[in-house]
């Protein structure tokens, strides 16, 4: 990958891990990172790479068409990988317009620029949430061919973005690929997400608030395995293809909470069940057989291996997540976002703990 690469959202969780994969393997020597640096964008994630001049960082908004077109005209990218997105479901229930602007308008703006300035490949990083809810007691799995059926504003915005990417391929023959991953975990994940959030709470002997009955099931994927899958898609896949990327590790949220408590030697009494969030999907499960059979990818880490690396990273980088929690008041904000009730007008309002 010696050509000029643009990685949007590169100061975020998955984007920064992907950048590290490329730089660790010396796969690219001309990487430009674009990030708006919203609350979840963190320059600390890539500061060492900027300092060593392994990458070039530019702050900007993918939904700002004038800026994006000037930027693409100047840089002439060969490859664009779009990690930039608003991703937190809870926040999308309160401020869906922000998700539409970044995830939908932002993606279309990038596609327009790619078409205008001759980008050779555009890769969209998507999510299994676009498929919707498999439901309780289901034995089915998400395949790339099932209809999209999103239930949250976040998932709907990502589904819309996917459809725009597909339309750019079908209408304008813009060379694109899409990957849809299951729940990621690993280093540099913003502490509002379940695993890092529960880890820092349990470390402080604080209650772990589990939605509903805690039996919502997700497939868990180590972020480094996800990044390796994306790299393989870029290297080996023809344009126009969609790939599911999963970790083959389904567990309910209660099991994940118990695993964290066991690692830290804390009591399961810290688990606290709180009122469920709106439209909380019961089960996601990825069928990754397409990428396994066509491109030869499989996750290198078992969940036990990946979570051990993740927890060890948390322990070694306590200052990293403590700084974020203090700056963004994660505990206070999470309570507001996650404990809610429905008013008579059916609008979500906060419920005092």
Catalytically active residues, by annotation: 128-129, 154
**Paired residues of 183 in beta bridges:** 220
Distance of alpha carbon 116 from alpha carbon 108, whole angstroms: 12
**Whether 277 contacts 93, CB under 8 Å:** yes
Residue 101 makes CB contacts below 8 A (sequence gap 6+) with 63
Distance of alpha carbon 352 from alpha carbon 335, whole angstroms: 8
Task: Give the residue from 238, 225, 222 showing the smallest Cα distance to 295.
Answer: 238
Secondary structure class of 31 (helix, strand, coil): strand
DSSP string across 4-32? -EEEETTTSHHHHHHHHHHHHTT--S-EE
How are beta strands 56-59 and 31-35 bridged, if at all? parallel
How are beta strands 79-82 and 5-8 bridged, if at all? parallel
């Amino acid at each position: 990958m010696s050509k000029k690469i643009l990685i949007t959202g590169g100061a975020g969780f998955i984007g920064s891990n992907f950048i590290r994969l490329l730089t660790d393997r010396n796969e690219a020597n001309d990487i430009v990172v674009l990030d708006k640096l919203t609350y979840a964008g963190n320059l600390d994630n890539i500061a060492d790479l900027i300092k060593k001049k392994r990458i070039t960082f530019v702050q900007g908004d993918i939904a700002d068409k004038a800026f994006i077109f000037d930027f693409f005209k100047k840089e002439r990218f060969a490859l664009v990988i779009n990690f930039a997105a608003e991703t937190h479901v809870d926040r999308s229930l309160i401020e869906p317009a922000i998700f539409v602007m970044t995830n939908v308008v932002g993606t279309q703006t990038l596609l327009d620029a790619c078409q205008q300035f001759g980008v050779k490949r555009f890769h969209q990083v998507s999510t299994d949430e676009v498929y919707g809810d498999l439901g309780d007691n289901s034995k089915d799995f998400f395949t790339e061919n099932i209809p999209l059926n999103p239930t949250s504003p976040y998932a709907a915005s990502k589904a819309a973005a996917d459809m725009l990417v597909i339309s750019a391929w079908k209408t304008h023959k813009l060379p694109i690929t899409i990957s849809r991953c299951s729940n990621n975990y690993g280093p540099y994940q913003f502490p509002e997400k379940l695993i890092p959030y529960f880890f820092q709470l349990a470390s402080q002997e604080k209650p772990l608030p589990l939605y509903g009955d805690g039996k919502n099931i997700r497939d868990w994927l180590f972020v480094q395995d996800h990044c390796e899958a994306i790299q393989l898609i870029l290297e080996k896949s023809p344009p126009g293809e969609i790939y599911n990327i999963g970790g083959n590790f389904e567990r309910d949220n209660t099991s994940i909470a118990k695993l964290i408590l066991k690692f830290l030697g804390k009591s399961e009494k810290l688990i606290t069940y709180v009122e469920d969030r709106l439209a909380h999907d019961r089960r996601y499960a990825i069928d990754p057989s397409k990428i396994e059979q066509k491109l030869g990818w499989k996750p290198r880490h078992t969940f036990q291996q990946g979570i051990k690396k993740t927890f060890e990273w948390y322990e070694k980088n306590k200052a990293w997540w403590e700084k974020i929690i203090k700056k963004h008041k994660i505990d206070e904000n999470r309570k507001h976002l996650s404990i809610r009730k429905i008013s008579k007008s059916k609008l979500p309002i906060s419920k005092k703990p």
